[in-house]
Structure 1
Amino acid sequence: MRSRRGPQIDVDMPEVDHLSIVREACTRKSHEYSAVWCVLDTELDQSLADDLVREASRTSVELCLSTPCFEFWLIMHHVDCTRPFQSAEEAKKKLKSLVPSWSEGTTRFSDFSHGLEDACRRARKIDPTGREVSKNPSTNAWRLVTELRAGLD
């Protein structure tokens, strides 16, 4: 993603709670970037998801949320999956069964790049608006992919 052409992307992984990440992102948008996205998990916490959406709309920060976890977005690169997960750990086990070499510390784009179009299509099918962020399972990561691609044109 980091290239001289197209959008310039900075990745930051602060060790703070989800709401603090959204608040920090707001300060960066106004000073450093034209668009700021927070890529976060809901961990099946409806209250957290609601708070994140409320805070992001107040601060004009875009959210890329996955329920129960980001790994669901990665699963969608390999298979169509619409059954609910009982936990983030269950989703991670499913991903590991699909990509045996995967681990949280070693996510390689090459393991998922071939399925990007399928993942976007599958995720849009579950949530066409990208706004049903607490639906289990769901991910609106396709919105971020769409915006990044638009920046490459």
Structure 2
Amino acid sequence: MVSSNKSFDRKASRFKPQPSVLVLCEDSKSGKRYLEEAALHFRARAQVEIVHCGVTHPSGIVDRAMKRQEYFDKVFCVLDRDTHLCFERALSEAKSHPKITVIASYPCFEFWLLLHFGFSRKPFRSAGKNSPGDLVSKSLRTKPNMANYEKGKAISYFAQLLGEPFHRARTLAPKVLEDVVASGEPNPSTEIHLLMDVFETLSTPQRI
């Protein structure tokens, strides 16, 4: 019996314990639900806590991350560039904390959803009363089954777009970032696919 227990212990010790991960996002409904369901899809939910932290600007989210990072192995801040004046300051503040990683979207999370329908690099600029983020949502509403999209609705867009559209977005987002490097223009682009990669990694046992 003792030998059996020791054998079990040796087998269990071959894998690293999953890191504890916190994801902080600005959007309390559609974006937050999408990330929660993505974590669930990759079976990473046990180690991922996605929180709407009660602030709607990048520096506030990073500030919350700095305060909570001691309780986690890694903290991700999902930030929208849009028209936030404190965006660059938030990026600068995050860089000084190794545990904190910014997942940025230009101009907003909805561009990630837009990539589910095809490649795009047409910049989104403020027009009249519409912010760049507003215009991304407007463009998204022209896509199949997205006519009623609203940022504040708690609708399961992850489930709706899972499959080929989701695979397309994960394939296209890195290509967009390659063009960002080549052109120097980040608008539009997103790093949400990097967070999807993290979720997928969390679901896979890591050998020591």
Q: TM-score, normalised by structure 1?
A: 0.85
Report the RMSD for the aligned CA atoms in angstroms. 2.7
Q: Percent identity?
A: 24
- Contact 1:67/1:133 (8 A) holds in 2: no
Which moves more between the two structures, 3-12 or 55-64?
Answer: 3-12
Q: Cα 1:133–1:29, aligned 2, differ >3 Å: closer, same or farther?
A: farther
How many residues align? The count is 151
Which moves more between the two structures, 82-91 or 94-103?
Answer: 94-103
Q: Cα 1:107–1:147, aligned 2, differ >3 Å: closer, same or farther?
A: same
| Map of 1:76 onto structure 2 | 115
Instruction: Provide the rounded CA distance (Å) in 1 between the counterparts of 2:154 and 2:44.
Output: 25
Secondary structure of the corresponding residue to residue 105 of structure 2? strand
- Contact 1:67/1:134 (8 A) holds in 2: no
Which moves more between the two structures, 106-115 or 4-13?
Answer: 4-13
1:102 correspondence with 2:149: yes
- Contact 2:94/2:101 (8 A) holds in 1: yes
Q: Cα 1:136–1:51, aligned 2, differ >3 Å: closer, same or farther?
A: same
Q: After the TM superposition, which residues 1-153 of structure 1 pair with which residues of structure 2 at under 5 Å, given as runs?
A: 1-2=39-40, 5-6=43-44, 8-16=47-55, 17-31=57-71, 33-45=72-84, 48-60=86-98, 61-86=100-125, 87-98=132-143, 99-104=146-151, 105-108=153-156, 109-114=158-163, 115-128=165-178, 135-153=186-204
Secondary structure of the corresponding residue to residue 141 of structure 2? helix
Instruction: Provide the rounded CA distance (Å) in 2 between the counterparts of 1:97 and 1:41.
Output: 21
**Alpha-carbon deviations, 1:46-94, whole Å to 9, x = none?**
x633222211111231111111111001101122111111211110001
Unaligned runs of 5+ in 2: 1-38, 126-131
Indicate the structure (1 or 2) with the bigger Cα radius of gyration. Answer: 2
Residue 113 of structure 1: how far off its partner (Å): 1.6
**Greater percentage in strand:** 2
Letter in 2 for 1:124: P
